[in-house]
């Protein structure tokens, strides 16, 4: 076994810096589940799988919930753990708005091909958006993008410079470095560089914005949601859910969570925070 010495450590550090430390960022950012999926024949009656090929030729298997007669669509980007099949109850709840829904399965998650990375999930988001426009026939002004937790980074990246019906960010992180620091990763946070930089990209948002965050969120701190909201220059509304943490928004605070989302989907921004 080769024992590490100062020369090896310098070479390893240089390698990490020269590659943008992407392996470290990806290792700590993504926790995909490819095992606990639902067989196609066992999906709810109004949920179907759609296969979308990204520009780098990765096939992602996402879920489509059709609302007959509706010209509106919500594209949903989930958090960093599990897979889209775990979010079917959320997708069904969102469909109560009357919107069509696409629940995106990132590369490396669920039944999708590939391995997740920051650049990769951005390509996944781009491919789904193009599919919605070109294959399903939706127009940009009738599309809402919703991103939760790390999904907020895909949503924000995708929403830049577009005139959408709206953008919904649930427990959004400000950037990778801040998230690493909040997660107690210490020195490793310096390797994040400009990864997952929601705070800068929100400057490029043209569409109405809804931000939802729990005050007791120990995973993505509440201050991050506030920072994103404060920086946005568009019509916007902030929903502060007192006492809520990262993973109990839909359960313990169901009414406070879902009512603003469904109202925003149908009515837009009626008042600011």
What confidence score (pLDDT) does residue 269 get? 73
Tokens of 102: 């696409």
207 is catalytic: no
Helix (H, G, I), strand (E, B) or coil at 271: coil
213 is catalytic: no
The residues, ordered by sequence, that sit 6+ positions from 183 with a Cβ below 8 Å of its Cβ are 28, 219
What confidence score (pLDDT) does residue 9 get? 39
What confidence score (pLDDT) does residue 29 get? 74
Tokens of 78: 């989930």
149 is catalytic: yes
Domain ranges of the chain: 6-267
What confidence score (pLDDT) does residue 6 get? 43
What confidence score (pLDDT) does residue 158 get? 98
Fold of the domain built from segment(s) 6-267: Rossmann fold (3.40.50)
What confidence score (pLDDT) does residue 190 get? 55
What confidence score (pLDDT) does residue 178 get? 60
Max CA distance (Å), the chain: 66
What confidence score (pLDDT) does residue 272 get? 58
Residue of 90, 124, 197, 217 marked catalytic: 217
Query: CA 128 → CA 11, 83, 118, 165, 192, distances in Å?
Result: 39, 16, 16, 16, 26
How many whole angstroms separate alpha carbon 157 and alpha carbon 152?
8
Tokens of 196: 């997952």
- Locate the DSSP E strands across 129-271: 143-148, 166-170, 209-214, 236-241
Residue of 78, 165, 213, 246 marked catalytic: 246
- Region for residue 66 given its phi and psi (left: phi exceeds 0; alpha: psi -120 to 50; beta: otherwise): beta
How many whole angstroms separate alpha carbon 85 and alpha carbon 87?
5
Handedness of CA 115, 119, 125, 131 (dihedral sign): negative
How confident is the prediction along the chain (273 residues), in pLDDT tens digits per residue? 334 444 443 443 444 444 455 655 565 678 899 999 999 999 999 999 999 999 999 999 999 999 999 999 999 999 989 999 999 999 999 999 999 999 999 999 999 999 999 999 999 999 999 999 999 999 999 999 999 999 999 999 999 999 999 999 999 998 766 665 655 544 554 554 567 899 999 999 999 999 999 999 998 999 999 999 999 999 999 999 999 999 999 999 999 999 999 999 999 876 555
How many whole angstroms separate alpha carbon 77 and alpha carbon 106?
8
Tokens of 166: 């709206």
The residues, ordered by sequence, that sit 6+ positions from 263 with a Cβ below 8 Å of its Cβ are 270
The residues, ordered by sequence, that sit 6+ positions from 94 with a Cβ below 8 Å of its Cβ are 74, 76, 101, 146, 261, 262, 265
Residue of 29, 149, 152, 207 marked catalytic: 149
What confidence score (pLDDT) does residue 257 get? 97
């Amino acid at each position: 076994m080769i024992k590490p010495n100062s020369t090896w450590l310098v070479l390893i550090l240089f390698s990490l810096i020269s590659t943008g430390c992407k392996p470290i960022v990806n290792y700590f950012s993504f926790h995909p589940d490819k095992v606990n999926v639902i067989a196609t024949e066992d999906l709810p009656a109004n949920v179907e799988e759609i296969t979308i090929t990204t520009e780098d030729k990765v096939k992602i298997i996402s879920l489509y919930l059709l609302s007959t007669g509706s010209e509106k669509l919500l594209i949903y980007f989930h958090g960093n753990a599990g897979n889209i099949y775990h979010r079917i109850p959320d997708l069904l709840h969102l469909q109560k708005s009357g919107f069509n829904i696409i629940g995106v399965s990132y590369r490396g998650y669920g039944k999708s091909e590939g391995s997740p990375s920051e650049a990769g999930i951005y390509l996944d988001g781009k491919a789904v958006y193009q599919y919605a426009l070109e294959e399903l026939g939706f127009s940009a002004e009738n599309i809402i993008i919703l991103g939760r937790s790390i999904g907020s980074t895909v949503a924000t990246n995708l929403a830049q410079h577009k005139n959408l019906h709206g953008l919904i960010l649930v427990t959004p992180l400000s950037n990778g470095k801040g998230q690493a620091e909040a997660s107690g990763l210490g020195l490793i946070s310096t390797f994040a560089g400009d990864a997952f930089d929601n705070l800068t990209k929100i400057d490029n948002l043209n569409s109405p914005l809804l931000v939802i965050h729990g005050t007791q969120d120990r995973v993505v701190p509440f201050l991050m949601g506030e920072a994103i909201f404060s920086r946005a220059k568009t019509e916007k509304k902030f929903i502060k859910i007192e006492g809520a943490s990262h993973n109990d928004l839909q359960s313990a605070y169901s009414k406070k969570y879902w009512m603003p989302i469904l109202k925003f989907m149908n009515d837009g921004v009626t008042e600011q925070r």
